[in-house]
């Protein structure tokens, strides 16, 4: 089992592609550490927001979830340097991904905060000094930052950390329905450049990143997913109110962990209905939260692609 928990919808950035910051949760509405006591055992758990480090009891939440998941990774915009270093200093076994939606001013413009790129770099350097091992940066690919993809890969490479990718999409969670890639040719060309960088990296994990990132292009052109979505069966999303949902795109809460134990929710008729809806879902999302665990479970599909594109086709990238 894998999971994603958004611990707060409070946020200190003003991103153009995500308007969660306009719809913050009240501190008293948000899940607390004791609400997470019945979570199942997990392989990987992503803690996200809003901005998770705004949440006053994040450290206590990490105390609980570390007993449930083999790997816990927090997603952050990196703005709250002091709080981030304080919490991560107490949880050096937890991973962290800092958002970098471009270099310099591009990142500042997309995130709506002057100086956020410099601040996120300061946080990144602080985390390295703390000795955090599971450290990386993450980009949401759009027309506005496609040209920065290879520079971002090189930034990650210089710091010996990974660059994770996602693509612009719409979700109730973002309060956005007009996110759109306008210049698909530009994005495809720049993503191809990034995929070539991943494939020529000496780190095998980057070859799998290449496969995942190539799938982003398929999603952009509306192609069907190569791996059937299994959210609500082997993975789940919990929002700051405690509502358990299949993912952060499908607006279908099927139980609340403030009211019932996770296992009771998971075995309920509402959970069966969620699985039916996922089975019929035509969104074809290609997000690491709904694809990563399938790549780990069915490695032959990405491995065959890697072999074709890395070993047999050194001149370019096929799909
Ligand atoms: S494809 Fe999967 S992750 Fe995407 S909306 Fe449907 S159920 Fe959610």
User: What was the pLDDT predicted at 108?
Assistant: 97
225 three-class SS: coil
What is the average pLDDT across 234-254?
Answer: 97
Which atom of ligand 1 lies nearest, measured to the CA of 285?
Answer: 4
Which atom of ligand 1 lies nearest, measured to the CA of 249?
Answer: 5
pLDDT for 313 beyond 60? no
Strand-strand pairing, 42-48 and 69-76: parallel
Q: What burial class does residue 54 get, using C-beta atoms within 10 Å of its C-beta: 0-12 exposed, 13-18 middle, 19+ buried?
A: buried
Yes or no: say if 228 and 290 are a contact pair by the CB < 8 Å rule.
no
User: What was the pLDDT predicted at 225?
Assistant: 86
Cα(144)–Cα(148) distance, rounded to whole angstroms? 9
Yes or no: say if 281 and 229 are a contact pair by the CB < 8 Å rule.
yes
Which atom of ligand 1 lies nearest, measured to the CA of 248?
Answer: 8
What sign does the dihedral 32-285-162-21 (CA atoms) show?
Answer: negative
| Percent of the residues in the chain that have a pLDDT greater than 70, as a whole number | 97
For 3, 15, 30, the CA distances from 251, given in Å and listed in that order, are: 16, 21, 18
| Ligand 1 center to 113 CA (angstroms) | 30
Yes or no: say if 244 and 265 are a contact pair by the CB < 8 Å rule.
yes
Cα(305)–Cα(319) distance, rounded to whole angstroms? 8
pLDDT for 104 beyond 90? yes
Strand-strand pairing, 244-245 and 235-238: antiparallel
At 269-283, the pLDDT tens digits run 999 999 999 999 998
At 38-97, the pLDDT tens digits run 999 999 999 999 999 999 999 999 999 999 999 999 999 999 999 999 999 999 999 999
User: What was the pLDDT predicted at 215?
Assistant: 92
For 12, 201, 263, the CA distances from 52, given in Å and listed in that order, are: 10, 31, 25
Count of C-beta atoms within a 10 Å radius of residue 264: 13
Strand-strand pairing, 69-76 and 95-99: parallel
What is the average pLDDT across 233-245?
Answer: 97
- Residue among 285, 286, 291, 292 whose CB has most ligand 1 atoms within 8 A, to mutate: 285
What pTM was computed for the model? 0.95
Nearest CA to ligand 1 atom 2: 229
pLDDT for 315 beyond 80? no
What is the average pLDDT across 231-244?
Answer: 97
What is the average pLDDT across 148-168?
Answer: 96
pLDDT for 161 beyond 90? yes
User: What was the pLDDT predicted at 289?
Assistant: 87
At 181-193, the pLDDT tens digits run 999 999 999 999 9
| Ligand 1 center to 26 CA (angstroms) | 27
Rounded mean pLDDT of the chain? 94
pLDDT for 120 beyond 90? yes
| Ligand 1 center to 202 CA (angstroms) | 32
187 Cβ neighbours under 8 A, 6+ residues apart? 141, 142, 143, 146, 181, 217, 220
Nearest CA to ligand 1 atom 4: 285
User: What was the pLDDT predicted at 198?
Assistant: 96
| Ligand 1 center to 271 CA (angstroms) | 15
Backbone angles phi, psi at 166, to 5 degrees: -145, 165
What is the average pLDDT across 243-257?
Answer: 97
Which atom of ligand 1 lies nearest, measured to the CA of 225?
Answer: 1
Confidence of residue 227 (pLDDT cuts 50, 70, 90): confident
Yes or no: say if 167 and 191 are a contact pair by the CB < 8 Å rule.
no
The helix-helix angle for 116-130 and 104-111 (nearest 10°) equals 110
Task: Report how far apart the first and last C-alpha atoms of the chain are (Å, whole number).
Answer: 29
User: What was the pLDDT predicted at 317?
Assistant: 59
pLDDT for 22 beyond 60? yes
Residues with CB under 6 A from ligand 1: 229, 231, 246-247, 249-250, 278, 281, 283-285, 290
The secondary structure of residue 166, as a DSSP letter, is E
| Ligand 1 center to 231 CA (angstroms) | 7
């Amino acid at each position: 089992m894998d999971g994603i928990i958004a611990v707060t919808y409070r946020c200190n950035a003003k991103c153009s592609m995500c308007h969660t910051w306009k719809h913050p949760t009240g501190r008293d509405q948000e899940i607390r550490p004791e609400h997470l006591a019945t979570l199942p055992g997990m392989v990987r758990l992503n803690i996200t927001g809003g901005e998770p480090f705004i949440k006053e009891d994040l450290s206590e939440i990490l105390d609980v979830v570390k007993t449930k998941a083999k790997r816990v990774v927090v997603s952050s915009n990196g703005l709250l340097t002091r709080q981030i270093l304080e919490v991560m200093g107490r949880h050096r076994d937890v991973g962290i991904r800092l958002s970098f939606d471009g270099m310099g001013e591009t990142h500042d413009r997309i995130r709506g905060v002057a100086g956020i790129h410099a601040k996120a770099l300061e946080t990144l350097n602080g985390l390295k000094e703390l000795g955090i091992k599971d450290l990386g940066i993450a980009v949401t690919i759009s027309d506005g930052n496609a040209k920065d993809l290879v520079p971002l890969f090189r930034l990650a490479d210089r710091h010996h950390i990974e660059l994770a990718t996602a693509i612009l999409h719409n979700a109730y969670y973002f309060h956005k329905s007009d996110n759109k890639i306008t210049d698909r040719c530009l994005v495809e060309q720049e993503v191809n450049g990034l995929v070539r960088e991943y494939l020529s990296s000496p780190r095998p994990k980057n070859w799998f990143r290449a496969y995942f990132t190539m799938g982003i292009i398929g999603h952009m052109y509306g192609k069907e997913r190569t791996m059937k979505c299994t959210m609500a069966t082997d993975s789940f999303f919990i929002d700051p109110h405690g509502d358990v949902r299949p993912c952060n795109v499908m607006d279908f809460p099927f139980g609340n962990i403030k009211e019932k134990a996770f296992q009771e929710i998971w075995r309920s008729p509402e959970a069966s209905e969620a699985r039916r809806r996922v089975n019929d879902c035509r969104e074809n999302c290609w997000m690491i939260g709904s694809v990563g665990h399938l790549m780990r479970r069915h490695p032959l599909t990405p491995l065959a692609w890697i072999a074709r594109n890395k070993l047999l086709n050194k001149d370019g990238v096929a799909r």
